[in-house]
Amino acid sequence: MISGRNIVCLASNWRDHPTSKHHVMRTLARHNRVLWVNYHASRRPRLTRDDVGLVFRRLRQAWAETRAAAPEIDVLSPLLLPVPESGLARRINSRTVCRRVRRVLARLPEAPLQLWLFAPDLPELIGRLPAERVVYYCVDEFAAFSGYNAEVIERLEHRTATASDIIIATSTHLYDRHRGHHRCVHLVPHGVDFEHFARATQLPPAAVPRDLQSIPRPIFGYMGVTADYVDLPLLAQAAGARPDWSFVLLGDVRCETSALAGSRNVYVLGGRPYEQLPAYCRGFDVGLIPFRMNRLTRAVNPIKLREYLAAGLPVVSAPLEAVKSYARAVQTATTLDEFLAACRRALELAATEPQQARQDLVRGESWQARVEHLSDLVQTLPVAAPAAGRPAGDSPPPFDTRRYSGKSGERYQPVVEQVTS
């Protein structure tokens, strides 16, 4: 495991629902000091109620000092200009982030620095901080998100990726896209908080939250953000075809939901604390991943897939690449008829196969195991001079066959290094 480092992580808001970024950084924080920088300049805000509210929340956070969010994790919210098309705005943002980060690092015990980037549009920052490692952790096809300037994001992501020492891709699609342009790209799928979600199989029926107890079963549940990549028309059609089934959407709503109007057996419950999710899984009969198939979703590796399986649930999903490894427990569908048939098969599976069989599929895929693997990949890179002064967009230093353990003061050890896997 990486240890004894100061890790600067630039990612979406710390207060968002836990994602891979949160799980990875919480695990690394057991052995390192993590400074999480809330980065919110990847797209221009729109004149919508949600975006206006988001702007005011970001402003309130920006005026606050760095705060401790968890043991060994501090959160920094610099005031940034959300104009990714402007080179001047990006340079101002990189200077702002760098100045605030250096101020925090000056108060911490001196240690080697690593820079982990979960956002794609930060090439100007690389080289401003003396990092022994620059890790680009690619979790999405960012240019396909609604509201993003696809051309700008693609150009900036290419520069960010090229200037990084290593790229971690969380799906086969992302791995294939980056490996042709960088010499050190690794495919590392998401992990799962197994023990947390496995609690669902041990809870009594009375532990199911009251708002779920009042909903008729069987319950087909979706956990996650309800956004424009969720196929709400398909859910509405399925609800109309099977009024004896209940469909539950659990999570923040960030899109128009008029497609569900009149669907009396579709229940939009909104967001719930992470700690309560196992209890909701206890009340589900089947877990859903009802995504539209498009450029964005073809690149995803949904964390909820492994969370459902850890909770012992069969799954009905869009035909994503990520679900193929779990075909025994996951039914796939695109059309309405396929979806209804997949739901029936999933109910049969829930009734005939023990929950442990589904749990066993992901039992060895904990976040601890994933981060240990990530640590091996990052630490066995050849040691380069600190990145300060490296022009953004330049290629990383040439790779050789020397391995480094990451321990302060330790010498190189000659071994054969495989840099792409």
Which ranges constitute the DSSP H helices of 7-112? 20-28, 49-63, 87-105
Residues 265 and 178 in one domain: no
Residues 217 and 150 in one domain: no
Q: Domain of 351: which CATH number?
A: 3.40.50.2000
The pLDDT of residue 49 is: 62
> What DSSP designation does 253 have?
B
Residues 302 and 399 in one domain: no
In order along its 421 residues, the chain shows pLDDT tens digits of 999 999 999 999 998 888 999 999 999 999 999 999 999 888 665 656 665 555 455 555 555 556 666 789 999 999 899 998 999 999 999 999 999 999 999 999 999 999 999 999 989 999 899 999 999 999 999 999 988 899 999 999 999 999 999 999 999 999 999 998 898 999 999 999 999 999 999 999 999 999 999 999 999 999 999 999 999 999 999 999 999 999 999 999 999 999 999 999 999 999 999 999 999 999 999 999 999 999 999 999 999 999 999 999 999 999 999 999 999 999 999 999 999 999 999 999 999 999 999 999 999 999 999 999 999 999 987 654 444 444 444 433 332 222 222 333 222 222 222 222 2
In-domain check, residue 386: yes
The pTM of the full predicted model, rounded to 2 decimals, is 0.86
Question: For residues 300 and 322, is the Cβ–Cβ distance under 8 A?
Answer: yes
In-domain check, residue 421: no
Please name every residue paired with 6 in a beta bridge, in sequence order, or none if there are none: 33, 113
In-domain check, residue 221: yes
Residues 131 and 201 in one domain: no
Of 313, 334, 359, the position where a domain reaches its end is 359
In-domain check, residue 139: yes
Residues 184 and 213 in one domain: no
In-domain check, residue 163: yes
Do β-strands 246-250 and 113-117 pair in parallel, antiparallel, or remain unpaired? unpaired
Determine the Cα–Cα distance for residues 114 and 130; give it in Å rounded to an integer. 8
Token code pair at residue 192: 């799962």
Residues 10 and 136 in one domain: yes
In-domain check, residue 420: no
Residues 29 and 108 in one domain: yes
Counted domains in the chain = 2
Write phi, then psi, for 318 (nearest 5 degrees).
Answer: -65, 155
3-state helix, strand, coil in the chain (%, to 5): 40, 15, 45
Residues 28 and 161 in one domain: yes
In-domain check, residue 124: yes
The pLDDT of residue 418 is: 26
In-domain check, residue 233: yes
Residues 252 and 393 in one domain: no
Residues 223 and 344 in one domain: yes
Domain of residue 170 covers 6-191+367-414
Of 321, 340, 359, the position where a domain reaches its end is 359
Residues 282 and 146 in one domain: no
Residues 204 and 286 in one domain: yes
Q: Domain of 125: which CATH number?
A: 3.40.50.11010
Question: For residues 304 and 186, is the Cβ–Cβ distance under 8 A?
Answer: no
